[in-house]
Amino acid sequence: MLTYLRFLLATTLAIGLLAATSDQVFAKAAQLAPQQQSQILGSNTNMTLGQPAASSNIRPNVRTDFNPNATFPTISKTAFIDPLAAVIGDCEIGKLVLMAPFAVCRGDEGTPIHIGNYSNVQDGVILHALETTAHGKNIDDRRYSAEGLLLKANNTSFKNGFAIFVGDKVSLAHDVQVHGPAYIGNDTFVGMKSLIFNAKVGNRVAIGVSSTITNGVAIPDDKFVPPGGIITTQAQADKLPARVGSPYETINSFVLHVNQELAKGYNAQIIHKLATEMEDVLEEEEMLQTGSPTGSPNITETNSTNTIESK
């Protein structure tokens, strides 16, 4: 079994099948006694066996009069949540998302919050939202559909809507604030220290550093918000220049590549640590069961010593 685990780990790191490997590692861990699982998994807060246990940085929201349900975050096994990041409540984190130190997804007021596959949430980013219900009643214009429609309280799709929806392949750069209701389309870059509140941003948009987008505006697809831009009217949003040909034309592709590689690398470190700790526990268990320092039932300490001396 130990040989198999070593082979599994070496093969995995060589070919980079991160997701498949994590499932196999967890399947092996699930065969262990609960106290052994705890010993192995205790320090790996973003690696789970099924529904994750609460930890200091990944935990359910508290129940309130505007949200009576305590919901645990839903996190892809290939996402990496830094131990110094916080994911609280009804946050959905997609595949290969990287949440860097001090990034926060706080789903304890306006919920749910969605972060799509292959996106990144960099250092100091904050995602939070206004409540979407009050005393059991929905509130108009506080949730978006996954397609970007701002929902009225009586819309049958409201129950499946999002206080914040961040699409796939989105980069939220350092210190960005996204406060719901808010929607950000696919393949969009949001520059450092920018603010998006009560607004919709389309697909393939590039937002320059220190920009503000608010007041119910909708940024059309393929637009460029120059650094320091303040967009508070729809007329301003409609007059924005195209992303193609701007200084930010290709920035998101580079940022996505870097952060996806970081997510893979950090997760590989955790898997290596997990597999090593698992080997140690299994080896200790076999030694206790067989009375052998090697774990083999056919070799005792005395026999191995006599064999060496006879040579």
Total domains present in the chain: 1
CA dihedral 194, 198, 202, 203 (to 10 degrees): 60
> Burial letters for 59-95: b for 16+ Cβ neighbours within 10 Å, e otherwise?
bbbeeeebbeeebbbebbbbbbbbeebbbbbbbbbbb
Q: Is 3 part of any domain? A: no
Answer yes or no: pTM beyond 0.95. no
Going by pLDDT thresholds of 50, 70 and 90, the confidence category of residue 20 is: very low
Going by pLDDT thresholds of 50, 70 and 90, the confidence category of residue 184 is: very high
As annotated, the active-site residues are 109, 131
Of residues 282 and 137, more confidence is placed in: 137
Q: What local confidence, expressed as pLDDT, does residue 28 receive?
A: 42
Both tokens assigned to 217: 């505006």
Please state, rounded to an integer, the average pLDDT across all residues of the chain.
82
Question: Are 68 and 50 within 8 A, CB to CB?
Answer: no
Q: What local confidence, expressed as pLDDT, does residue 305 receive?
A: 43
Q: Is 172 part of any domain? A: yes
**Residue-level length of the chain:** 311
Average pLDDT over residues 112-132: 98
Q: Is 38 part of any domain? A: no
pLDDT in tens, 143-157: 999 999 999 999 999
Q: What local confidence, expressed as pLDDT, does residue 16 receive?
A: 44
CATH code of residue 133 = 2.160.10.10
Q: Is 209 part of any domain? A: no
Q: Is 293 part of any domain? A: no
Range of the domain at 63: 56-187+250-266
pLDDT in tens, 218-247: 999 999 999 999 999 999 999 999 999 999
Q: Is 161 part of any domain? A: yes
Q: Is 156 part of any domain? A: yes
Q: Is 219 part of any domain? A: no
